[in-house]
Structure 1
Amino acid sequence: MRTPRLSRPLYLSLCALPLLGLLAAAVFAPLPFSIAFPGSTTDVLGKDKGGEPVITVTGAKTYPTRGQLRMTTITATSPDTTVRLPDVVGSWFDKGEAVMPRDSVYPVGDSVKEIREYNDEAMRDSQSAATAAALNHLKLDPEKVKVDLRLADVGGPSAGLLFSLGIIDKLGADDLAGGRVIAGTGTIDAAGKVGAVGGVPLKTQAAKRDKATVFLVPKAECSEAEAELPSGLRLVPVTTLSGAIDALGALRSGGKVPSC
């Protein structure tokens, strides 16, 4: 008895069914990514959303400042948002978005509460290190000079460099911003060493949107920042707090400014 032969089109269709099933599963399967966007920026020399000064200093003379020192952020899909292949593909072709490994955006915890607590602790540690670095640079006694940093709804350590610069600008006679809108990002430790952060291309977009003309970037992230640098925004690479201060001084005086 002969086995009936399937026609070629029918045979190919039957063979394609498992492949189509796999493709459908891949399209709708959740992926370990977050979609990130340019976030808000805040002038650390100014006030927060509640109208309170971001930096308050007691126990030492302060000086008037000109210009702005804007810390930058990114905004990402929440940790409980499901990201699928179409979302990833769409973001690859949108310069206003970036696909980032979820663990790089939310490095600890599975719940929104755990992540918020981690980010709040990282911000507090960053503020303490920024204050210590600034007072060390100015050779001021932390037992006598008190610095209060207030910035609601922002977590993580990446504002450290800008906090230190803001404290120094208020406590020093030199006008760091020099009337410019300076933006930037970077962690900092108590010794004044600047560390790398994530999402730099998105942060440069946020800086340009909010009228910055200069962006202080950790030197290790120059290439990443240059790849999608908005027109009219000047990158200034930094590795230390003192180097950032020297670069801003060179900007004011027309001297040689480091470049990527």
Structure 2
Amino acid sequence: MLAISVFAIIFVSVAPFLWFGLLAFKPYIDITAVPPRIFPSHFSLEAMSSAIYKHDLFHYLKNSVIVAGTTTVLSVVIGTLAAYPLARISIKYKRTILLVILAAGMFPQIAIAGPIWRLLRDLGWLNTYHGLILPYLAFSLPITVWILAIFFSELPRELEEAAKIDGADLFQILRKIIVPLAAPGIFTAAILSFIACWNEFFFALLIMTRSDFQTLPVGIALFPGEHTMPWGEIAAASLVTTLPLVVFTLFFQKRIIAGLTSGAVKG
């Protein structure tokens, strides 16, 4: 009974992805067939080719890589520099500070969309990469600092004390000892930040009104025309968008789990 329940849950979760994956390789006649055909009569690259060349999918892909990649790097670097003192230095109300940082990351985006848009407009940063990276960084930093602060606090202090005796300064300790030991936590924070930025739609739509700078979620949402719904092209673009993240996450799942479970068990 348990096996059947697990199989049913997996099927319900995976079925939509399998359907869209097959849809990306169906000819147009199969996509519009009534009743719907689960499997294509023959595999076709028409939808994939149209998504790439007609809708310029790789252009949106490049924008997403630039924005999500830059935000992730900045979030990890700044988050590491902020989390290490919180984990190691005795600060009054440290737990309260961490809770406030985490609460800032949970703040509803719609509540601050207006002020952020106006600020970026006054700075002339609308339709620019850094105009989108800045809000993304503001939302990804809290969870990054939270994860890294917990991870750093679990590392043995004896290693740092031994390094100080050998004459290492604070940045050498951080770069040569703490960062390598905290690699699972840093990697977890990086992948969570990257996925959040990669999939984000609201601010990307609000800030990037020109197609030159629009990211994948916005670009795919604009595929439909006035009288048509190109399901094949949307499915193909979604497959290109999703597959790298799935493969990446599966490949590094042990590191991600190690980072997420850090600090859950003492001793």
TM normalised by structure 2 equals: 0.24
Q: Which has the higher helix share?
A: 2
TM normalised by structure 1 equals: 0.24
Q: Which has the higher strand share?
A: 1
Of the two, which has the highest radius of gyration? 1
